[in-house]
Structure 1
Amino acid sequence: MARGIAWATLVLGLVHLVFGMVRFKLPLEEAVAAGFIDQFREHELRRTAFWFLMCGPLLMLMGHLAIRAVAMGDPALLRITGTYALVASVVGIAAFPMSPLWLLFGLSLLLIAAGCGWL
């Protein structure tokens, strides 16, 4: 079960990237057409696109760490990964209660539970 939770975290990061590329296609195209460098400071939607997309690789990193922790039998790393995800999701949910960060919240609790041997 822990392996499935770890892979779900990685997949969440991939989905984040794909969704961000589709959702923010126009502002990203505009930034690239304008030369990309320093094209996200002045435009709110471009800035939102940038930070949304930056979360994708970080979620994927978290997933890779969790997959590695499961493979190496390192429950402490699962707990640490889950704790970071829990804190980030709680802050995000507090800021945006109607966001899909509830998915990360659930995965973080499962990562912590797997790291404690409860799953």
Structure 2
Amino acid sequence: MRTCSATWHQAHQISEQFLAQRGETINRTQKALEQLAENWTALQKLEAHPNTPYAQEILDGLSPHARALTTPPDHAGLTPQSHRARAPSAGPGAMLTLRRSGRSNT
């Protein structure tokens, strides 16, 4: 078995690096969520017109990963709740309920 022989100073540096990286990741994630919230109406418009030339033009310009977000539940891992009737003012959490590893994000 191998043991670690870091000094207190090295351990402190490692923890500072970890905290800095964690903070950067939190900031990036917060910015991404803010962008989603700011652009949520675009997703609502797309949902309101799913089989139109408008929607097809939008989807044609997306990467496969982004296009998967608009795929019906049986193909993208979205739960049936994502297509239930919702109040018009429903926010991002109400439109899509993503399921990963059998757990819902709600």
- TM-score scaled by length of structure 1: 0.29
| Bigger CA radius of gyration | 2
Of Structure 1 and Structure 2, which has the larger fraction of its residues in helix? 1
* Greater relative CO, 1 or 2 (CA 8 Å, sep 6+): 1
